[in-house]
Amino acid sequence: MRTISQLHSRHFRTVLALTTLVGAAACDPDIDEDIEDVEDVAEASELMAEFGEDAPTDIDAETEVTALRDGSGEFVGTRGAQFYLGGQPFRHIGANISLVYMPMWQVERELDFLRDAGIKHVRVGIANDAMSSPQMIDRLKKVVDAAYYGGGPRRWIRVTVALGGNYGGELWHWEKCHYANGTPVPNCGAPRGAIGLDARPNPWRAGDTGFYTRPVPNMALNMLEDAWLDWGHTAYYKQHVIQVVTAFRDHPGIFAWNIANEVNSSGSPFAVGLLVQFYRGMAKTIRDNDPNHLITTGLISTSWANMNDAQRDAVYLDQPNNPSNIDYLTVHSYDGPTAEGHELINGNAQHDDIWRANRRYNKPVIIEEFGMSGVNAFERVKAYFQERLVGPDADLQVDAIIPYGVTSNQTAEDWGTGDTPFSPRSQNMVRPYQALWGRWAGQLDGRLPLIVDNDNSYNDTARAKFEPSGAWGQSAYSGERWGANYHTTTTNGGATGEDGASFKFYLAAPACKAVDARWNANASRSNTAPFVVYSANNAHLGTAYKNQQIEGDRWVNLGTWCFTTGWNRVTLSRWSPAPGHLIADAIRVR
């Protein structure tokens, strides 16, 4: 059995070296001077920034690696019906995004977009019958490294990998080699393939579709046949899975292994039995080759798969000396107009599996794919998040929601999942969705930044409020905004009276926090916009003057201050003697 020290000793050496330095050093701007002898100070500081005082400090070097699946260290784990990370509950917002076959410049841009929204979990697919397993592993490693280690500031995003898929057809990702308007993509030589290794011609199935022979109703796609569940998955898929999970078994950037996306059967009792055996067998295979990471099915729901209660239990219920090796449940839920072909495909069956996760199986549950389209889609999404994350019925709450069709790019080269009617891009609502995710990310996990938007419908009003004076008006003229709009006014030439727009945030205990702000830049803006900082007891902590003619559409640091218990605030004042417009868009407290 491999040990913690064998698996990721470098990370834990830096954490252990910091054990005696945690305490008040979290707010000490000179902390680097205190730990200059620690190997890789930057990485050590980032580890402490992620885990804070809950960083693992009592690790026994001989502790078996299976203990990591309780979420006490860098690997995500479970404790009962909750995810844990760094010793704390880990509820979060994620994103389904086709990163693996994007060019890396696009990967980097998308990951920065997600990081800024507080996204800590992405789900990707890797199956491509035109590539070998080592080639897929290489592409995946670039993405996982960029998501977890990359960025400035570091992203800390973990990746769930769908190892296979139920649907054959064109790989509708970035291997397409043509822009949406038909123009060839320069230097795009990689072939496109079908979604799934077992689409390849093989000795057992004639033709060029392999085991993908079962038609998808009302769609020009085929699904995997029942024989694949029985024995055909051993043709390519099983060995492919072993290679992939073994390659990443020590990588803390993996969130979980998704056995296969939405695999089902023809629906007969015998075929459903084959499906159950497939999930149990592959879960054990993955666990035997990677004891560190979580495993899940990728099912839409057990009802969608025609499982009865005994079959559900066989997949998800852990029994003495007979673990299922499935760590959490998945549900895929969509809603949209029937005319678009996107009616509520899962009925209300997702509610049943959420209840089962919480009440019968005592395991976390993720809405692993989610989207709404049609009239008032965004407002319905906001209501869904509220109900599923903090709704009145705790038995129907989930641990994470992972929207489908997430891309930030709205230019001609964008296609793939970003073209679905459920995607923010297709709805022309990228900014509002990003702000919605950011609001919930900070509300679900206190280790993540708290964002205060100028639109209180995006705020957790128990912790964040925006209060402008009557001199400020709302605008959506500039596309460079956080959420749906921003507030604006002009300076008052230094006249007496703040007449400001206040971003307020509540702290349950005194804490030192960095504060960032956003605005849209323009030559008409003030070059000395005064952000005035107050503690909850109304003490003036300082003023940060910022040039709003530059650094637009990004988080700009205002400074770090030590705040008191209660409602603290950052007020964008009209006091500035420099003429021009002022923009109050959002602040971030971290």
pLDDT, tens digit (0-9, with 9 covering 90-100), for 139-182:
999 999 999 999 988 999 999 999 998 987 655 433 344 444 45
Delimiting residues of CATH 3.20.20.80 domain(s) in the chain: 77-448
Mean pLDDT along residues 265-278:
97
Predicted confidence (pLDDT) per residue in 341-370, tens digit: 444 545 556 789 999 999 999 999 999 999
Give me the CATH code for the 452-589 domain, please. 2.60.120.260
Classify 456 as helix, strand or coil.
helix
pLDDT at site 317: 97
pLDDT band at 50 (very low <50, low <70, confident <90, very high): very low
Long-range contacts of 217-222 (CB under 8 A, 24+ apart): 218/341, 220/169, 221/167, 221/168, 221/169, 222/167, 222/168, 222/169
Q: Residue 368: what residue type?
A: E
pLDDT in tens, 481-511: 999 999 999 998 765 568 999 999 999 999 9
3-state secondary structure of 579: coil
β 586-589/511-518 pair status: antiparallel
CA distance 84 to 101: 30
At 419, is the pLDDT very low, low, confident or very high (cuts 50, 70, 90)?
A: low
pTM of the entire predicted model: 0.83
Ranges of CATH 2.60.120.260 domains, the chain:
452-589
Average of per-residue pLDDT across 222-238 = 92
The highest-level CATH class for domain 77-448 is alpha beta
Spatial CB neighbours of 556, under 8 Å, sequence gap ≥ 6: 516, 517, 518, 519, 546
pLDDT at 360: 97
Gap between the Cα atoms of 53 and 270, Å rounded: 52
**Token pair recorded at residue 180:** 């949406």
**Mean pLDDT on 508-525:** 97
pLDDT at 190 over 50: no
